[in-house]
């Protein structure tokens, strides 16, 4: 009896592990992306995933104003958006900030976006639900969604936090593959950055 119970518990544990990616605690490549709605952006508008229904590919970046790694990636993220995310492009790039400290407030985000001339939507999620549902744990951390809004890539932008040493842009390769209706050769990498400052839930 005890052996059967232990077997059942272990099987449920295996199912739980199989439901997450190699590095992501919640999502696997191929999962449907979580849906976000009515998140305020630095442009003064509310944004939802549904607004991007005409886009063939959506890149979601969890980032912030304050993490040194996120700051180091600002220009690279902006270049990516400048290359792929023009108004008439089939690709959209969206950045979401889930941090709750004052330096990551919407007003501070507006100042940062104006100063750096962001070419992408920059949204605030005070509920932190988008980050939790994507399983995002770091800033920056990237997700590429195909036209069916399945996750085809998740992890780091590229292969080095040092821009001068980066040789492979995983997100760019994932965008190109998704535009062809394919998955990239590399579908998941480990995101390196600061921990997202999730509010602890009361037990």
- What structural domains does the chain harbor? 30-195 (3.40.30.10)
- Work out the average pLDDT over 102-127: 98
C-alpha 168/C-alpha 160 separation (Å) is 8
Rg (CA), the chain: 18
Average pLDDT for the chain: 91
Reported as a single tens digit per residue, the pLDDT across 60-97 is 999 999 999 999 999 999 999 999 999 899 999 999 99
The pTM is what? 0.89
For residues 165-197, one letter each, b for 16 or more C-beta atoms within 10 angstroms of the residue's C-beta and e for the rest, the string is: eeeebbbbbbbebbeeeebbeebbbebebbebb
* 44-51 LR contacts (CB < 8 Å, sep 24+): 47/94, 47/121, 47/123, 49/149
pLDDT exceeds cutoff 70 at 7: no
pLDDT band at 203 (very low <50, low <70, confident <90, very high): low
Angle in degrees, 0-180, between the axes of helices 106-116 and 68-84, rounded to the nearest 10: 60
């Amino acid at each position: 009896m005890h052996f059967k119970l232990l077997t059942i518990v272990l099987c449920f544990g295996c199912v739980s592990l199989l439901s997450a990616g190699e590095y992501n605690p919640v999502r696997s490549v191929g999962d449907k992306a979580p849906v976000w709605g009515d998140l305020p952006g630095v442009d003064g508008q509310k944004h939802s995933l549904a607004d991007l229904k005409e886009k063939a590919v959506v890149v979601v970046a969890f980032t912030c104003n304050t993490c040194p790694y996120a700051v180091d990636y600002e220009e690279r993220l902006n270049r990516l958006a400048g290359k792929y995310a023009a108004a008439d492009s089939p690709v959209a790039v969206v950045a979401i900030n889930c941090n709750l400290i004052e330096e990551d407030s919407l007003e501070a985000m507006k100042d940062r976006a104006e100063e750096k001339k962001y070419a992408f939507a920059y949204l605030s999620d005070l509920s932190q639900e988008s980050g939790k549902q994507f399983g995002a744990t770091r800033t920056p951390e990237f997700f590429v969604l195909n036209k069916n809004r399945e996750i085809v890539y998740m992890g780091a932008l590229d292969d080095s936090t040092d821009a001068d040493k980066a040789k492979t842009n995983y997100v760019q390769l994932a965008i190109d593959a998704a535009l062809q209706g394919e998955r990239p050769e590399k579908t998941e990498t480990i995101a390196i950055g600061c921990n997202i400052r999730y509010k602890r839930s009361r037990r």
